[in-house]
Amino acid sequence: MSIVARMAVVCLIRVAETWSAFNVVSGVLLAVLLVVVAFRVTRRR
Q: What are the sequence ranges of the domains in the chain?
A: 3-44
**Distance between CA atoms of residues 20 and 4, nearest Å:** 24
Cβ contact 7:35 at 8 Å: no
**Predicted structure pTM score:** 0.44
Average pLDDT, the chain: 83
Taking 90 as the threshold, does the pLDDT of residue 11 lie above it? no
Mean pLDDT across 8-16:
82
Taking 80 as the threshold, does the pLDDT of residue 28 lie above it? yes
Cβ contact 28:12 at 8 Å: yes
Mean pLDDT across 13-24:
74
